[in-house]
Amino acid sequence: MLAQIPVTSEADLHAAVARARTAQPTWAATPVVHRCGVLREFGRILHQRRQEVAECITREAGKPNVEALITEALVALDAARFCANNAVAFLHPQRVPHGNPMMKVKRGQLLREPHGVIGIIAPWNYPFSIPATESLAALVTGNAVVLKPSEFTTLVGLKLAELLHAAGVPRDVFQVVTGAGETGAALLASNIDKLIFTGSVGTGRRVAEAAGKRLLPVVLELGGKDAMLVLEDASVEVASSAAVWGAFVNCGQACLSVERCYVHRSLYEKFVLACVEKTKRLRVGNGMDQNIEIGPMIHARQLANVASQVEEAVAAGATVLTGGHALAELGPNFYAPTVITGVDHSMRIMRDETFGPVLAIMPFDSSAHDDAAVALINDSDFGLAASLWTANRARGEALARRIRSGTVMVNDAITCFGISEAPHGGVGQSGIGRTHGFQGLEEMVRLKYLDTDYTGGMAKVWWYGYSPAFARQMDGFMDFLFARNLLQRLAGGMRSAAAFVRKGRV
C-alpha cells in the first residue's frame, strides 16, 4: 500500500467547485503574461523535480521509470512551453474583416474568453501528462480547474497539484477531488462549465448522455484501435522495431498503441519473424529497475480483458507465436508481451480496444491504388491514430489523406502525442473534440464576436420604413453585389493565370 486517501464527499466536491467559481474571475483578470509566467515557473519546477515525479508515476502506474520521464514529465514540460509561448497571441482580439459593403462602417473583433470552471476526469494510463496538458491549456486561458484523477493513480494527480501550486497557481483555481466513478459522476453533475474526459467508450457515452441533458460542452477522448500499415517498400528492420515498441510501450496501455498491424504479403514472413525475435528479448519486471522495458498492467480486470481477447482469437483459429499468458511468477498483473497471427476482422482482438501488450499481425495483398490497405484500416469503429511505413514519402502522405483518423503518422507511431503543437483527438468512437495545440486551446475558450458601428448616431437604411421603393433598392443592391463578386472571381483567375505564366508553368 502506498497511501490511504479519503474519498471526496459529494458535498465537499460541490464546495470545491464553488470555491473555483469564486476564484476564477480574479485569475481570468490576471494579465495573461502573468499566467504565462506561472506556467514557465511550473516548467522550471517540473524540470528540477522530474525524477521525483517519474518515481511517483512508476510506483502507482507500474510503467518503467524511463517511460515515466519521456512520455509523462517531458510531454508536460513541452506543453507548458507551448502554452506559455503562445497564449498571449492566441488570446489577443482578432480582427474580423467585412466583405459586405453595407457593413464597412463596422469594426468586428473575435474575443476568446474562458469558460469558467473546467472539470477534468483523467485516466490512469498517462496519469501525469494527460491531465497536465489539459490543465495547463485551461489555466493559461483563464479558467479554474477541478481535476478528478483515476482512483488507481491519485497520488500522481496530487503531485501535479503540488507542482502547480508551488508555481503560483492559486489553490482554489486548481483543485483535486479524489475517488472512483461516483466522484466523476458528481463532478459531471456539479456546477462546472465544461468537462474534459479521457476514458473508455462505454463511460464516454454515459458522460455525453448526461452532459447533453444540460447542454454541458464536453471533450471526449475515448481510445482507439490504432492500425499500422507496412507497405512493400518499407524497411522490415525499422518497421518491426516500431511495431514492437508501439504495441508494448506502457505495457500496451496507450490509446495510441499499435493494436492491429497490416503487412504487405511480400514482407509478411520476415516481418513476423523479426517482431517475434524482438519481443522475446524484452525485459519484463519492476519498473523501478532501469533495465526493465515492460512493467505490469494496471489491475487484474484489465489483464483479464486482454487474456480473454487472446483466448477467443486462438479458439477462432489464431496462433500465438510468443507470450499469450500471465507471468504470475513476477507478481500480480504481469502479462507476457504477445505476438499473434492468423487473425481477421471477425475477431474481437481486431475490432475492440485491447489496451494490453498484444501485437496482432495480418497480411494484405496489393490492389489498385492501395485500396485494400486503406479499406482494412478504415474498417473500424475507432479513428484515433494510424501509422504508415514506406520508403516513398509522397505515397505515404497520399494514403494518409484517405485514412479515417484524427492523426496519421508516416514512418513513426505514437509520438504525435508528444508534439505540443499537434492536435490530439479522433473520430467515430474515439471521441469528439481536441486537446493539444491551438485546437486544444480553442476548446478552453468561448468565442465572442464584438461588433462596433462607427456611425452610432445614424439610423440604418434597413430599419423599418419598408416600401416598394426600398424593396427595389435592395433588389438592385443584390444585383450589384453579385456582379461585383463575379468580377472579383474573374480578376482573381486572371492573376493566377498570369502568375503561372511568369513562373514558366505554361
- pLDDT by residue (tens digit) across 387-409? 999 999 999 999 999 999 999 99
**DSSP annotation of 374:** H
Distance CA 42, CA 164 (A): 6
Residue percentage of the chain with pLDDT more than 90:
89
Catalytic positions, written as ranges: 221, 255
Torsion, CA 12, CA 13, CA 17, CA 20, rounded to 10: 60
* Per-residue confidence (pLDDT) for residue 478, from 0 to 100: 87
DSSP string, 253-318: --TTS--EEEEEHHHHHHHHHHHHHHHHT--BS-TTSTT--B---S-HHHHHHHHHHHHHHHHTT-
- pLDDT tens digit string along 267-280? 999 999 999 999 99
pLDDT at 266 exceeding the cut of 80: yes
pLDDT at 489 exceeding the cut of 60: yes
pLDDT at 505 exceeding the cut of 60: no
pLDDT at 193 exceeding the cut of 90: yes
Q: What is the pTM of this model?
A: 0.95
What is the CATH T-level fold of the domain 14-95+110-222+436-447, as seen in this structure? Aldehyde Dehydrogenase; Chain A, domain 1 (3.40.605)
Give the mean model confidence (pLDDT) for residues 179-206: 97
Give the mean model confidence (pLDDT) for residues 287-304: 96
Mean pLDDT lowest for which of 45-49, 387-391, 417-421, 454-458? 454-458
Return the amino acid letter for 76: A
Give the mean model confidence (pLDDT) for residues 246-258: 97
Mean pLDDT of the chain: 95
**DSSP annotation of 329:** G
Give the mean model confidence (pLDDT) for residues 62-70: 97
Q: How confident is the model at residue 102 (pLDDT cuts 50, 70, 90)?
A: confident
* Per-residue confidence (pLDDT) for residue 504, from 0 to 100: 62
Sheet holding 385-389, edge to edge: 319-322, 338-341, 358-364, 260-264, 227-230, 385-389, 407-410
* Per-residue confidence (pLDDT) for residue 506, from 0 to 100: 46
Burial class (CB in 10 A: 0-12, 13-18, 19+), 221: buried
Please give the class, per CATH, of domain 227-420.
alpha beta
Quick one: angle between helices 50-61 and 154-167, nearest 10?
A: 160
Residue with the three cell numbers 486544444: 440
Distance CA 102, CA 112 (A): 26
Grid cell locating 79: 506543453
